[in-house]
Chains A and B, each alone.
Chain A
Amino acid sequence: MIVDGSKKLIFRLGGTGFLLELGDVVEVVERIAGMLDSSRSDIGRGIVSALQFRQTWIPVVDPALKLNIFSVVKLKDKKAVILRGSEGNWALLVDQVGELSAAENFHSCEIPFLLKVSAMGFYSQVKLLYNEPMIVFEPERYYGSTAVSI
């Protein structure tokens, strides 16, 4: 697969927009109903379920839990963004997967001093896409050996 590193994948959780480096993405699974095994959870590591993907089971992480985001989308209706990590593939649960957007459409935007403490540990960069704040999703904060449970 040829990865265009100049593009970002947009996804949404509870109305908040996030952007993800396309190079981290393996695949987007639009329909996950029937492919989940919630008995294989490890909440301490942020894993809410396991997803059958390419003849194996991979961990499913719901970032809404860590980010304290309320989502009205039911689990069966969520999408999974499959990411490659140091410990293998894993799935990120999201409400919606949007379009790919060119890197030049994003403009850097500093997190205000007054918000830095509350954002610390969850995100460190915000970019503007057509004047809408988008959080730069940092996968290592959510799954893998460096992720910290909250």
Chain B
Amino acid sequence: MSRFGLFQIDQFKFAVSLQLIKKILQNSKSYNLPRLPRAISAVLVDAGQLIPLLNLQQMIGRETQQEHLTQSYQVLVESEYGTVALPADLTGRIVDEQKGERSTIVEQEVNLGGVGSFIYQNEDYSILDINFLAIEMTQVFWQNQPDTGGARRHQ
């Protein structure tokens, strides 16, 4: 049975397959390292490993709030490129896929690293493609965008 973790950061609602979720931390201490890609807010340390914290706020064109680095969940997710952390407000939940409805992908979701939507209790959660997000957000294209509010997938 497939299940999703449902989370929210600011007004952006997102879903991650439970199979990919390694751990959920709360109020984990974050650290800045120099020359981080713009799409990385900070790094976390978990089990002796550095975990990049993706800046989802940048992806949706919002400023990173300091409280989101310190007063929130950090969802540790496995990607092909190693574990990454996603920030989330303290409102996550895990639901069976059968309790919601999957909808078809729309262009905006592709731009935001989504692979479709999961609708649960009339709320629309973008199903994130973690591999896409990890590599697109941290590598050359996204790093070089001076206007972070306009961060979008390269066309």
Q: Taking beta carbons and an 8 Å cutoff, which residues of A are in contact with B?
A: 14-16, 67-69, 107, 109-115, 117-119, 122-123, 126, 128, 131-133, 135
Contact B138 A115 (CB under 8 A): yes
Contact A112 B50 (CB under 8 A): yes
Contact A133 B36 (CB under 8 A): no
Contact A109 B48 (CB under 8 A): yes
Alpha-carbon distance A118/B51, docked complex (angstroms) = 15
Residue among A69, A109, A110, A112 with the highest chain B CB neighbour number at 10 A: A112
Q: Taking beta carbons and an 8 Å cutoff, which residues of B are in contact with A?
A: 31-37, 40, 43, 45, 48-52, 81-84, 134-135, 138-140, 143
Q: Is the contact region of chain A dominated by helix, strand, or loop, or is it mixed?
A: mixed
By beta carbon, the residue of chain A nearest B79 is A114
Contact B32 A109 (CB under 8 A): no
Residues of B within 8 A of A109 (CB): 45, 48-50
Contact B84 A119 (CB under 8 A): no
Contact A123 B45 (CB under 8 A): no
By beta carbon, the residue of chain B nearest A132 is B31
Alpha-carbon distance A119/B43, docked complex (angstroms) = 13
Contact with B84, one of A15, A114, A126 (Cβ below 8 angstroms): A114
**17 pairs, A vs B, C-beta closer than 8 Å:** A16-B34, A112-B43, A112-B52, A112-B81, A114-B82, A115-B40, A115-B52, A118-B138, A123-B34, A126-B50, A128-B48, A131-B45, A132-B31, A133-B33, A133-B43, A133-B45, A135-B34
